[in-house]
Structure 1
Amino acid sequence: MTIEHVALYVEDLENEKELFEKYFGGEAGCRYHDENTGFTSYFISFEDGARLEIMNMPESKRYENAPGLIGYAHIAFHAGSKENVDMLTDKLRAAGYVVVSGPRTTGDGYYESCIEDREGNIIEITI
Structure 2
Amino acid sequence: MQLFAEFKAEILDSQHPEITEENCVSEGLSAAGKLHHVEIYCSDLGKSAEFWGWFLSELGYKELQKWPSGISFILADTYLVLVQADKKHCDSPFHRCRPGLNHLAFHAASRRQVDEITEKLRARGAVILYDDRHPHAGGPDSYAVFFEDPERLKVELTCGS
How high is the TM-score relative to the length of structure 1? 0.80
Q: Residue 19 of structure 2 corresponds to which residue in structure 1?
A: none
- Which residue among 140, 143, 151 is the counterpart of 1:111? 143
**Paired letter, 2:152:** G
Residue 17 of structure 1 contacts residue 28 of structure 1 at CA under 8 Å; is this kept in 2? no
Gap runs ≥5 in structure 2? 1-31
| Partner in structure 1 of residue 66 of structure 2 | 31
Normalized per residue, the structure richer in helix is 2
CA distance in 2, matches of 1:68, 1:105: 17
Counterpart-to-counterpart distance in 2, 1:86 and 1:51 = 24
Whether the aligned pair in 2 keeps the contact of 1:89 and 1:103 (CA below 8 Å) is no
Compare CA radii of gyration and give the structure with the larger one.
Answer: 2
> 1: CA distance between counterparts of 2:113 and 2:49?
21
Percentage of identical aligned residues: 26
1 or 2 for the larger relative contact order (CA 8 Å, sep ≥6)?
1
Give the match for residue 74 of structure 2: 45
**How far 1:51 sits from its partner (Å)?**
0.4
Tell whether the 8 Å contact from 2:94 to 2:151 is kept in structure 1 after alignment: no
What is the CA distance between 1:119 and its match in structure 2?
2.0
User: How far apart, CA to CA, are the structure 2 residues paired with 1:110 and 1:62?
Assistant: 36
Number of residue pairs the alignment of both structures matches: 120
* 1:76-115 mapped onto 2 (5 Å cutoff): 76-101=105-130, 102-104=134-136, 106-107=138-139, 109-115=141-147
* Distance in 1 between residues matched to 2:117 and 2:66, nearest whole Å: 27
Query: 1:31 & 1:77 partners in 2: Cα distance?
Result: 23
Per the alignment, residue 54 of structure 1 pairs with: 82
Show the counterpart of 1:37: none
Please, which moves more after superposition, 101-110 or 2-11? 101-110
Structure with more strand by fraction: 1
2:99 is paired with a residue whose SS is: coil
Q: Which runs of 4+ in 1 moved over 2 A?
A: 26-33, 62-68, 105-110
Structure 1 residues 13-48: Cα deviation after superposition (integer angstroms, max 9, x where no partner) = 122222222222132233234xxxxxx2212112x3
The aligned residue for residue 23 of structure 2 is: none
